[in-house]
Amino acid sequence: MAKHTLPMGGRRFSKRPIGSTPTPSEATVAPKQTLSITDNRTGKVYEVPIKDDTIHATDLRQIKVNPEDFGLMSYDPAFNNTASCRSAITFIDGDKGILRYRGYPIEQLAEKSTFLETAYLLLHGELPTKPQLGAWTDNIIHHRFIHENVTKLLEGFRYDAHPMGMFISTIAALSTFYPEANDIKSPEIRQRQIFRLVAKSPTVAAFAYRHGIGMPFAYPDDELTYAGNFLNMMFKATETKYRPDPALEHALDVLFILHADHEQNCSANAMRSVGSSHVDPYSAMAAAGAALYGPLHGGANEQVLRMLREIGDKKRIPDYVKRVKAKEVLLMGFGHRVYKNYDPRASIIKRVAQEVFEVTGKNPLIDIALELERIALSDDYFISHKLYPNVDFYSGIIYEAMKFPVTMFPVLFAIGRTPGWLAQWQELLNDPEQKISRPRQVYIGSQERDYVGIEKRR
Ligand code: ACO
């Protein structure tokens, strides 16, 4: 039997059954951080290094039947078990319901931090000192305005255009206003685009909304906080100075914090994948926004509200749950690729909801949502599938109570997620192991065949 070793050196297989625990005498030998693989097609044994509980997929390529073969690949549609990067930004333990940004528990950040401070943390790796936070905040305030031509672009959309479609297109269009952004290798130029994107996202979002309802754009107010200014740009009417309700301003700030990053989710992966071609960050972020728009990702809270409205009455919940279990419909706002326990963000949001309802009055949908959660969490289907409420189950109910239209929900998510996308993008560009994203495929189509003229086709 031939033995093929990788850098860690080789070892033959013992006769123990696959997956069994070593005997005490075997266990006394210090465990090697390697994985032995027997290719039963050839009987060859390979040994590949294990680092951080991971093997390098390219180490499999030496496993071949014939020397001219391409070599073994791993097949992982939807990246169910593939790490695409090494990241120091966000940690999630889905089984324990843990979420940390740069090591800080989300619960502490939601309670003690602000969105701008958290954005700084995600992008820089450390909480800012007072002067650092001051400079960062000044830069964001300075970049809040958008070029008047961008407002013309927004005005070109139809009155009923979905604000998320407007947001995505306008973020992409910003690349034409800042051609310097193509120089993604310059840290200074990158930093300037980061200021612009974090600062302008709320402006673009609010202007998209105002266009839809035919209201004149409300320009940024330098004296207001990030969340307070966003409320101003959304809801300012004829008053000379808009003063946001402090409870609503705080709730929105917390919601932005909760959405700020979530490691390698669908939109972060889009940001990294598109960014890996070295395109400018506006184009990459438009791609991330497009990924977020889908109902299985950031579009879920919009779908939750539609679902709760369709249910309409607590009495109809059992029937709806039956349809979910029959796989006719999904229980929107439930389930997560990573969390197989309560999403910690959902618990925080439930508390924020109470604070908001004290100001706005209760959104009647909350009663349906709470009862739906109660019934689902005591049902075997949901327990056995480990389906719990995710961040979007309650966020829409709060947004609606705050008078955001349903179509703005994914846009609100995108504003919060902007620093996360940019932190992922920046980390990608600084990672010497990263290259252009380019998965392999398992080809299952026709073998070579000759072209058939149309007159001979059947
Ligand atoms: N309702 C009912 N059943 C569900 C749900 C749900 N919301 N989510 C998953 N399941 C079931 C699936 O039918 C499947 O059942 P089966 O094993 O009997 O076939 C099982 O649970 C596993 O589901 P997958 O779809 O394989 O899980 P995956 O990790 O691919 O999907 C996802 C995760 C997309 C979030 C899924 O749970 C879902 O569609 N949820 C509803 C949409 C939603 O709330 N999205 C927001 C996610 S959070 C965020 O993006 C911020």
Probe target for ligand 1 pocket from 92, 296, 381, with the most ligand atoms within 8 Å of CB: 296
- Residue 14: the pLDDT is 46
56 catalytic? Reply is no
- Residue 275: the pLDDT is 98
CA 391 / ligand 1 centre spacing (Å): 13
Give the residue among 120, 59, 446, 445 at the shortest CA–CA distance from 257.
120
**Cα-trace Rg, the chain:** 26
- Residue 9: the pLDDT is 36
pLDDT for residue 208 is more than 80: yes
- Residue 57: the pLDDT is 97
- Residue 11: the pLDDT is 37
- Active-site residue, selected from the candidate residues 245, 297, 379, 431: 297
Q: What is the mean pLDDT of the chain?
A: 93
- Residue 16: the pLDDT is 58
392 catalytic? Reply is yes
pLDDT for residue 22 is more than 70: no
CA 362 / ligand 1 centre spacing (Å): 29
Q: Quickly state the pLDDT bin for 24 (edges 50, 70, 90).
A: low
pLDDT for residue 280 is more than 80: yes
Q: Quickly state the pLDDT bin for 5 (edges 50, 70, 90).
A: very low
Give the residue among 117, 178, 170, 172 at the shortest CA–CA distance from 143.
178
- Residue 2: the pLDDT is 46
CA 242 to each of CA 13, 227, 245: distance values in angstroms, whole numbers, following the listed order:
72, 13, 10
Cα distance from N-terminal residue to C-terminal residue, the chain: 52
Q: What percent of the chain has pLDDT over 90?
A: 87
Cβ atoms of residues 153 and 176 within 8 Å: no
Question: Taking the model in full, what pTM does it have?
Answer: 0.91
pLDDT for residue 4 is more than 70: no
Check residue 7 and report its DSSP letter: T
CA 314 / ligand 1 centre spacing (Å): 23
pLDDT for residue 241 is more than 80: yes
pLDDT for residue 27 is more than 70: no
Q: Quickly state the pLDDT bin for 294 (edges 50, 70, 90).
A: very high
pLDDT digits (tens, 9 = 90+) for 322-358: 999 999 999 999 999 898 888 899 889 989 999 999 9
CA 335 / ligand 1 centre spacing (Å): 5
Structure tokens at 93: 């333990």
Cβ atoms of residues 281 and 275 within 8 Å: yes
Which helix (DSSP H) or strand (DSSP E) does residue 205 occupy? helix 187-213
pLDDT digits (tens, 9 = 90+) for 83-127: 999 999 999 999 999 999 999 999 999 999 999 999 999 999 999
- Residue 342: the pLDDT is 85
Q: Among all chains, which residue has been given the structure tokens 């090697």?
A: 32
Q: Which atom of ligand 1 is nearest to the CA of 297?
A: 50
pLDDT for residue 53 is more than 70: yes
221 catalytic? Reply is no
pLDDT for residue 8 is more than 50: no
12 or 88, higher pLDDT: 88
pLDDT for residue 270 is more than 90: yes
- Residue 6: the pLDDT is 46
- Residue 29: the pLDDT is 75
- As for ligand 1, residues whose beta carbon falls within 6 Å of it are 296-298, 300, 324, 327, 330-337, 385, 387, 390-392
- Residue 288: the pLDDT is 98
CA 77 / ligand 1 centre spacing (Å): 15
- Residue 109: the pLDDT is 98
pLDDT for residue 19 is more than 80: no
If you take atom 17 of ligand 1, which residue's CA is the nearest one?
385
Probe target for ligand 1 pocket from 265, 308, 327, 387, with the most ligand atoms within 8 Å of CB: 387
Average pLDDT over residues 205-221: 98
pLDDT for residue 10 is more than 70: no
pLDDT digits (tens, 9 = 90+) for 390-436: 888 999 999 999 999 999 999 999 999 999 999 999 999 999 999 99
If you take atom 39 of ligand 1, which residue's CA is the nearest one?
296
Cβ-based neighbour number of residue 453 at 10 Å:
6
pLDDT for residue 23 is more than 90: no
pLDDT digits (tens, 9 = 90+) for 368-382: 999 999 999 999 999
Average pLDDT over residues 55-73: 97
Give the residue among 398, 305, 412 at the shortest CA–CA distance from 359.
398
Q: Which atom of ligand 1 is nearest to the CA of 330?
A: 1
CA 164 to each of CA 115, 152, 258, 289: distance values in angstroms, whole numbers, following the listed order:
21, 17, 20, 8
Average pLDDT over residues 166-187: 98
Q: Which atom of ligand 1 is nearest to the CA of 265?
A: 50
- Residue 30: the pLDDT is 80
